[in-house]
Amino acid sequence: MGNEEGVREVFVKGIFLVNMLGGTSPAVLLEDTDGLVMPIHIGQAEAVSIDTVIRSETLPRPITHDLLVSILERMEVEVASVFIDDKIDNVYYARLVLNDGEKRMEFDARPSDCIAIALRKKAPIMISEELIISDSVSKDLLKGARSLSLY
């Protein structure tokens, strides 16, 4: 998937609290190699899940993303990549791409779940070039964002 035209690899910059209408919301910040930065607003549970991987922390009990990764590992299924490919009515769409031997499977999933799984398996996070170009924000706008400290 990494060599497809119109697709870019992005890297997680971190989880930040960003100002929204009437308050703050957790967002995962993605950045490509050209320096384009794009926030995706996520839920609190997904923010905790992603943040623990970024900080190389282990929770006392496995959370959902840990459980799914353990199941995939036991079944010897590879997390090939994730692909954030669409946005409809301000909702991002993504696919989890798995390889089971010669068999490739794609599953519709929320970007936050895909990112949490990809980080655990060190799988590439891909995004539609059109999407990151249209939804990237100026780094100046992020100056007020606070890094999420959950603990």
Q: pLDDT tens, 20-64?
A: 777 888 999 999 999 999 999 999 999 999 999 999 998 999 999
Residue whose C-alpha is closest to residue 127's, from 63, 24, 39, 19? 39
What is the rounded CA–CA span in Å between residue 31 and residue 52? 19
Q: Is the pLDDT of residue 139 over 90?
A: no
pLDDT (tens digit per residue) in 83-120:
999 999 999 999 999 999 999 999 999 999 999 999 99
More confident: 2 or 64: 64
Specify the pTM: 0.89
**What pLDDT score was predicted for residue 2?**
44
pLDDT band at 148 (very low <50, low <70, confident <90, very high): low
Q: Rg of the chain over CA atoms, in angstroms?
A: 15
Report the pLDDT value the prediction gives residue 141, as an integer from 0 to 100.
Answer: 61
Domains defined for the chain, CATH in brackets = 7-147 (3.10.690.10)
User: For residue 136, is pLDDT > 60?
Assistant: yes
What is the C-alpha separation between 28 and 12, in angstroms, rounded?
A: 7
